């Protein structure tokens, strides 16, 4: 593999993705900002005042890390699935397929684009959160590593969704029926210690629970789960999903006749 060529190709693809995100900023940046502002107003400010504290934190403070993580993962996923499927649908994916850039480079470029959009939106939501509450990052390195790993996991998942998608409906099925329910049940708004024992155990099968809690630990220093487990799960998911993406690309599934 020509490393220099692929490095330039990845850089080019990331640049292209960033241009796309900024070109359609009304679709990519503004909606999550508005949605999260509403979450903070309704759940944090109006309802949160009646709830009081959660795990020793003001409710607004408690949900802020989960909402930031929610915006990061949904945008990382959404960016890759829409960009890659859009390229497939409009046939300009062929620009990459005929070029000598490797399949790994195509995956890495798209994933990096998704992660960057996730981080951009995450940063914006963090700024919005600071209008409503005070956040002090307890473990900065852990916060950054967890957000990067989580964002990568969902960007890879979005890539697989895009590979299999044949029509635009197919790219909204997973976010609607899988991603959103798992996010809401992933401890964004509550501590799983409030749940009956069975549902606590069931919640631990939800990978988003680990991401939200590990991220919350990074910011607030409080988590329902073991941080070591969260890292193992996230790294395993990244390895597994990247391998799956590469296998599908090498086989030409969904992209070559």
Q: Is residue 44 within 8 Å of residue 134, measured between CB atoms?
A: no
Q: Does 256 bind another protein (CB under 8 A)?
A: yes
Q: Does 5 bind another protein (CB under 8 A)?
A: yes
Closest to another protein by CB, 2 vs 176, is 2
Q: Which residues contact 152 (CB under 8 A, 6 or more apart)?
A: 76, 111, 115, 238
What count of residues does the chain have? 257
Contacting another protein (CB under 8 A), which of 1, 26, 141, 205?
Answer: 1
Q: Is residue 124 within 8 Å of residue 33, measured between CB atoms?
A: yes
Closest to another protein by CB, 96 vs 124, is 96
User: Site size for another protein, by CB under 8 A?
Assistant: 30
Q: Does 92 bind another protein (CB under 8 A)?
A: yes
Q: Does 101 bind another protein (CB under 8 A)?
A: yes
Backbone angles phi, psi at 111, to 5 degrees: -65, -45
Closest to another protein by CB, 67 vs 101, is 101
Q: Return d(Cα 224, Cα 193) in angstroms, integer.
A: 7
Residue range at the interface with another protein (CB under 8 A); choices 10-18, 25-33, 112-120, 161-169: 10-18
Residue range at the interface with another protein (CB under 8 A); choices 39-47, 86-94, 121-129, 202-210: 86-94
**Would you give the binding string for another protein spanning residues 20-39, x where CB under 8 A is met?**
---x----------------
Q: Return d(Cα 86, Cα 92) in angstroms, integer.
A: 8
Q: Return d(Cα 117, Cα 80) in angstroms, integer.
A: 9
Closest to another protein by CB, 229 vs 251, is 251
**Would you give the binding string for another protein spanning residues 116-155, x where CB under 8 A is met?**
----------------------------------------
Half-sphere exposure in the Cβ direction for 70 (13 Å, CA): 24
Q: Does 15 bind another protein (CB under 8 A)?
A: yes
| Residue ranges with strand state E in the chain | 53-54, 57-58
Closest to another protein by CB, 50 vs 91, is 91
Q: 187, 217, 181, 213: which is closest to 200 by C-alpha?
A: 187
| Residue ranges with strand state E in 87-238 | none
Closest to another protein by CB, 106 vs 153, is 106
* Alpha-helical segments (H) within 24-58: 25-28, 30-39, 48-51
Q: Interface with another protein by CB under 8 A: which residues?
A: 1-2, 4-6, 8-9, 11-13, 15-16, 19, 23, 87, 90-92, 94-102, 252, 256-257
């Amino acid at each position: 593999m020509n490393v220099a060529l692929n490095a330039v190709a990845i850089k080019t693809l990331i640049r292209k993705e960033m241009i796309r995100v900024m070109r359609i900023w009304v679709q990519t940046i503004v909606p999550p900002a508005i949605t999260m502002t509403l979450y903070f107003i309704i759940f944090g400010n109006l309802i949160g005042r009646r709830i009081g504290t959660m795990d020793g934190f003001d409710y607004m403070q408690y949900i802020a890390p989960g909402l930031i993580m929610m915006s990061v993962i949904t945008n990382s996923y959404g960016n890759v699935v829409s960009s890659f499927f859009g390229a497939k649908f409009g046939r300009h994916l062929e620009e990459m397929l005929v070029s000598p850039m490797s399949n790994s480079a195509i995956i890495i470029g798209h994933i990096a684009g998704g992660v960057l959009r996730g981080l951009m939106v995450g940063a914006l939501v963090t700024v919005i959160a600071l209008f409503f509450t005070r956040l002090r990052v307890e473990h900065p390195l852990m916060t950054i590593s967890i957000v990067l790993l989580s964002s990568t996991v969902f960007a890879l998942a979005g890539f697989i969704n895009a590979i299999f998608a044949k029509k635009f409906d197919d790219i909204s099925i997973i976010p609607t029926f899988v991603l959103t329910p798992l996010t809401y049940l992933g401890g964004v708004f509550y501590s799983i210690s409030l749940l009956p024992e069975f549902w606590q155990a069931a919640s631990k099968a939800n990978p988003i629970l680990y991401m939200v809690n590990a991220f919350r630990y990074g910011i607030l220093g409080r988590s329902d789960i073991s941080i070591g487990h969260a890292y193992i799960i996230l790294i395993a998911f990244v390895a597994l999903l990247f391998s799956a993406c590469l296998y599908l690309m090498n086989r030409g599934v969904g992209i070559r006749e």
